Structures are given as C-alpha cells and as structure tokens.
Amino acid sequence: MKDIKKLIINKYLWSLYILATALAIVTIFYEWFIGIALTAVLIIIIILSLRAEDRLRRRTEQYVSTLSYRVKKVGEEALLEMPVGIILYSEDREIEWANPYLNDFIDKDQSIIGQSLSHVSETLLSMANSEMDEEWVAIHDRKFHLIHKRDHRLIYLFDRTEQIEIEKKHQDEETVLAIIYLDNYDELTQAMDDTLKSQLNSQVTSLLNNWSKNHGIFLKRTSSDRFLAVMNQEILSQLEKTKFEILDEVRELISDQNVSLTLSIGVGKNTESLPELGTLAQSSLDLALGRGGDQVAVKDESGKVKFFGGKTNPMEKRTRVRARVISHALRELVKASDQVLVMGHQMPDMDSIGSCIGILKLAQQNDKNGYVVFDPDGNNTGVNRLMDRINQDEELSRWFITPEDSLEMLTKDTLVIVVDTHKPSMVMEEKLLNRTDHVVVIDHHRRAQEFIEDPTLVYMEPYASSTAELVTELLQYQDGPLKFNVLEASSLLSGIIVDTKSFALRTGSRTFDAASYLRSKGADTVFVQELLKEDIDVYIRRSELIKNAEIYKQGIAISRADEGEPYSAVIIAQAADTLLTMTDVRAAFVVSERSDGKVGVSARSLGEVNVQVIMESMNGGGHLTNAATQLEDTTIEQVVEQLQGIIDEYLGEDENE
C-alpha cells in the first residue's frame, strides 16, 4: 500500500523535474557554469528516480500477480473442497458438472456427471422444473438447504444437519409449565370420612408421582387439588404421543371406588418468559375446565391450543352455591347499569330465545329495562312459531329490538349479556361487544379458543343441559317473587326440551328441577309441543336425508345429501337426531349443502363417541354428544372423505387405548 502511494507521489515529482529543467536552461543563458552544474545534478536525480520507479513497478506487478494466484487458488479449493454441494445441469436436466464434495457424498465409486438430477434427489428434478428458488431435502440422513440459480442452471446444496440438530436440541430443552387440577376434588372429599379421604389422596398422589418420575418431570403439590409440573419440550412431545395416558390411568384407578375424580391439565409452552409460561398454563387449564374437564389443553405463545382427552361424558360438577353466587353478582351488575341488552347467537334456536326472555325477566325483576337484540331477517325457521307468538304478545314483543337499534341505544352504563354462545363471531351484534366494558357471558357449551375478550362475569357450565336451565336457576335466586306468563315460562321450558331431546340426552337432576320450577310458574307442556310441531314438508325433507344414511364403521352412521340440494341447518340437525334413534347407531353425521353455499355437518352421539372432538378437527365444535361445523369452498364428497379419515383416526386412538 505504501509503494502505491509512492507511485502516486512520483507523478507530482515529474512536474517538479520539468520546472527545474526549465529553470536550469534559463540559468545557462545568464550563468553558463552554474546552469551546466544544475543541469548535471538534475539529470542524475532523474536517472535515479526512473530506476526507483522501475523497481517499484516490478515489485507491484509481482505483488499483484502473487495475490491473483492466491485468490484463484483459494477459490478453486473452496469450489472443490468446501462442504457445499454444487451442481450445473443441462436443459435436459442432466448433471453437467458437480464438485468433488458432492460427487463423493452421492457416489464415491463413480462420477455422477451425465446422470439425471433425480439420481441425487427427486426434489432437485422438481426444483429444476418449477419456479422454486429454495427448498429443503434429506439425502443419506443429511439435511440440505437447496439454493437454485435458475438463470445459470446452478444448484447449491448447503449441509444444515448440525444446525438443525442444534436448533432441535434447543427446542427440546425449552421449559414447559403445567398445572394439574383434580376435578371436583373438594366436593368429592367433603362427604368422605378421614380414612377414605386419606386413601384417595394417597392413591392419586402415588400415581402422579410415579408418572412424573417415569417421564422425568418435576412435580410439586401446591394445594389439595393442584399440582405444578415442570418439564421440557421433549418430554411434552412424548406425553402428546401417548395422548396423556395419565388421564385414563387416574380415571381407571378411581372408578373402582365409585368416585368420579378426573384430571384436568393446562400446559404453557414456546416462550422463554417464565411468568408468561405460567399465564399460558393457567389459561390452558381454564380452557380445559371450561370444556368439561378430564382433558389436557396445551397452549403456545401464539395462542394455538391442542386438546387431548375429553372423551368421557362429564359428570355434573356445578353446585347450587355457585349458581347462587353468580345470581347475586348478576343482580348487582344489573342494578348498577342503566339498562340491559341481551342477545344470543345468530340463527337463534329455542334455547337462545328462551334464555334471552329469561334474562329479560331478570332485568325487570331488578327494576331495569331489558331489551332482546333480535334480527328478524336472520331468523331460524325452527323458531318461527315461537316468534309468531311473541309478536302477538304486545307486552313482550315491545322489548325485542333490532341490532341497529341496539347500537343507537347503547350507553357507557349499559350491561350487555350474551347467552347460549361465547364466540364473538357468533353473537347477534358483535359491535356491541366492542363498544362497552360491561359484558356478561352465560353459556352451556364447552369453551372454545375463540372467546369474548375480558368479560365482567362468566357463567359457563358445560354440564348443564341448556342455557335455559342455567338462566332458570339464576332466576330462582333473585330477590322477591317472580311472575311469568305462559309464553315466557313455556319459552324457557322449550329451550330445555329441545336441547335435551325431550329429557333423553344430557339430562341431570338439576334439569328436572329447572323444568319443575318453570312448570310451577305456568309453563304449558301442550303449548310447548305446539311450538315444536313441524311442517309435513320439513318431515319429508328430513326423511330424504335419513334415506341416504349408511353405517360407516362401528355403529357410526353417515348421511350425505345430493349435490346441489341445500338443506337448512335445522333439518340437518333433526336428521342427525333421528338417525341416533335407529338400532345399533352410536353416532350420526349428516353432511349437506346449506342455503348460504357452505357445506354443513351435524353430529350427534349417545356419549360413547365424542363428536365434539371429531368436529373440532374440522374447525367446528359443540358438546360431547352434540356438535357441528360449517366448511367453505368444498364439496360434499370432499367433506365426507375428510370426515371418514378423522373418524378412522378417532377409532384408531380408541383401539390403542
């Protein structure tokens, strides 16, 4: 670098030499002796400078030549020796050249030049024939990252095996927190004597300790019904592969004692923040309990949730104490508001309408105006008769308002109560939820991932037969005597009757208590039957679906409608209900096009088959015995194939267990 600088400086010296020569010539004319002496000195200096410059030029050329050689040598060695595969291929997708590293890796005994790209990997051939610029491929148990330079017909293969193994090891060692909850433990042990309680506690603790020891899990009991478990991602993956068999082990161990004790586990993963892991674990546990318990919910940082278990019909675990507490809390919220807006889900059914009327009575009981948000244009044909009767009742119908009117009436002190759903996307008017801080949720469905954000009060009981049953219980704990007319009481009763299939499914002792209370308040069973009557055309349409039913496997019936023949959601559900009454049918699935262009699936079971789990695999949901889903941009045939595959997987898991 210094020599180059000198070369640049010499250019300026030549300018000085020329100037000195001119001065020497001028001096000769005046003092010839001095001028000749100066000229001689100048010539000597110029000769020495030229020699120095020549030496500098030769040294520079030698340096550049040596550097070019070294760079070229390094490039050749990198091309030939570095652990990076390089392939040049022809237009015929044959290998024109490959560096020695790749050639030796693929075949040490012979050259791969002239072979097809598929000789290395089918992925390379696909890549050359497509627009892909990057891809991953496994060759001889090594993982390669492919970079495709299409313009040059060049493919680089970077071995990323060690990097992937390090990343996997890091992921496997990520901390995972789990909260284990003994469902219904306090209620079960209250009536036990000390000996039985100690025996039960010892059995459960011993089983959990052995389970944690076998899997390398740190387990710490934090209260009588809670445990904290710490593990890593690798252990969690092992537990997921076994479908958390600890659920079945606890259930089988306790079943001999005629005790309905089960486990619910909430798991948080995929974040380095321990407080956030704890929050995820608690949120997962809330989800598992909200879905009925006896299951595991695994939640990651993105909010994605996976569920395991939940295949048994949950025992009734809610208590009258909780119902009384919720009723009193709801009363205080109503009194603190200026008015109450209650709404159910879109395309409402009997349970939704009946529950809305029940909350309307609760608001009036506390001297507040209540309004039912109802969209007459989005009405379900199954409630037409009920709505006709409501419209004939001037006193009741005046409290029904449209979604547009509800938005205009909303104030900062308005209490919004959502019944028979907890999904924002399904409520009658979602904008109401975004414009108020006072929201109450009352529902009997198992909790889904989608949930109304930050509600003031939540009363979710998946063990209840219907939301109408829950609302009826809440009404019983309000202050003062309640007065119903026949239509109001019968509406609530019809919601219970429809959801229980006339007290045949999901019916507990509390269901009969609620029905008895409504009967005492004037509910007319004959009037309810009038509301539930169906048209002969509907009966014929439903029969067409039943006629198409076939037994797929192990008592599971699947019925598919004809392509291009849409059915209403009510008829699809009724067809599934009817199929369930057939001999040897354990579960029924009805697949049909809907009037909105979607393909609907209605699923029913007697409890042996968890149709909720099956429908959740198709982005749906519901209860263990009653579930459904709606799919867009697909055909009936495709949905049936997907359904059959999920059923096969479900039955396979049962056989493995």
Residues 425-446 have pLDDT tens digits of: 999 999 999 999 899 999 988 7
Question: Torsions phi, psi of 180, nearest 5?
Answer: -105, 125
- Taking the C-alpha atoms of residue 465 and residue 345, their distance in angstroms, rounded to an integer, is 17
Strand locations in 438-564 (E): 439-443, 457-460, 549-553, 556-560
Residues 537-589 have pLDDT tens digits of: 888 999 999 999 999 999 999 999 998 899 988 899 989 999 998 999 999 99
pLDDT (mean) for 605-621 = 88
pLDDT (mean) for 473-485 = 90
Question: Torsions phi, psi of 183, nearest 5?
Answer: -60, 130
Pick the more confident residue, 197 or 77.
197
3-state secondary structure of 489: helix
Q: Which residues make Cβ contacts (< 8 Å) with residue 180, sequence separation at least 6?
A: 208, 219, 226, 227, 228, 229, 263, 264, 265
Q: How confident is the model at residue 24 (pLDDT cuts 50, 70, 90)?
A: low
Question: Torsions phi, psi of 521, nearest 5?
Answer: -95, 5
Q: Does the pLDDT at position 62 exceed 80?
A: no
Pick the more confident residue, 391 or 1.
391
**CA 73 to chain CA mean position, Å:** 54
Q: Domain 82-164: which topology?
A: Beta-Lactamase (3.30.450)
**Average per-residue pLDDT for the chain:** 86
Start-end of H helices in 224-301: 233-241, 246-255, 274-290
Q: Domain 320-532: which topology?
A: inorganic pyrophosphatase (n-terminal core) (3.90.1640)
Pick the more confident residue, 277 or 480.
277
pLDDT (mean) for 293-300 = 89
**CA 285 to chain CA mean position, Å:** 16
Q: Does the pLDDT at position 8 exceed 50?
A: no
Q: Does the pLDDT at position 74 exceed 80?
A: no
- Within 10 Å of residue 89's Cβ, how many Cβ atoms? 22
- What pLDDT sits at residue 73? 60
Q: Does the pLDDT at position 652 exceed 50?
A: yes
- Within 10 Å of residue 75's Cβ, how many Cβ atoms? 10
Under 8 Å between Cβ of 23 and 37: no
3-state secondary structure of 507: coil
- Taking the C-alpha atoms of residue 339 and residue 436, their distance in angstroms, rounded to an integer, is 12
- What pLDDT sits at residue 382? 67
CATH architecture observed for domain 173-309? 2-Layer Sandwich (3.30)
Q: Provide the pairing of β-strand 175-183 with 218-223.
A: unpaired
pLDDT (mean) for 599-604 = 95
Q: Does the pLDDT at position 598 exceed 70?
A: yes
- Within 10 Å of residue 463's Cβ, how many Cβ atoms? 16
- Helical (H) or strand (E) element with 81: helix 32-81
Under 8 Å between Cβ of 454 and 489: no
- Taking the C-alpha atoms of residue 231 and residue 277, their distance in angstroms, rounded to an integer, is 12
Q: Do domains 82-164 and 320-532 have the same CATH topology?
A: no
- Taking the C-alpha atoms of residue 5 and residue 391, their distance in angstroms, rounded to an integer, is 100
- Helical (H) or strand (E) element with 591: strand 587-593
Q: Which residues make Cβ contacts (< 8 Å) with residue 233, sequence separation at least 6?
A: 171, 172, 173, 174, 176, 269, 270
Which of 40-49, 312-321, 511-520 is predicted least confidently? 312-321
- Helical (H) or strand (E) element with 447: none
- What pLDDT sits at residue 1? 46
Q: Residue ranges of the domains in the chain? A: 2-80, 82-164, 173-309, 320-532, 537-656
Q: Tell me, what amino acid is at 545?
A: L
Tokens of 330: 């709801």
Pick the more confident residue, 336 or 41.
336
DSSP for 551-579, please give it. Answer: EEETTEEEEEPPTT----HHHHHHHHHHH
Q: Contacts by 104-113 with C-beta closer than 8 Å and gap 24+? A: 105/139, 105/140, 105/142, 106/139
Tokens of 407: 């938005």
Tell whether domain 537-656 is in CATH 3.10.310.30.
yes
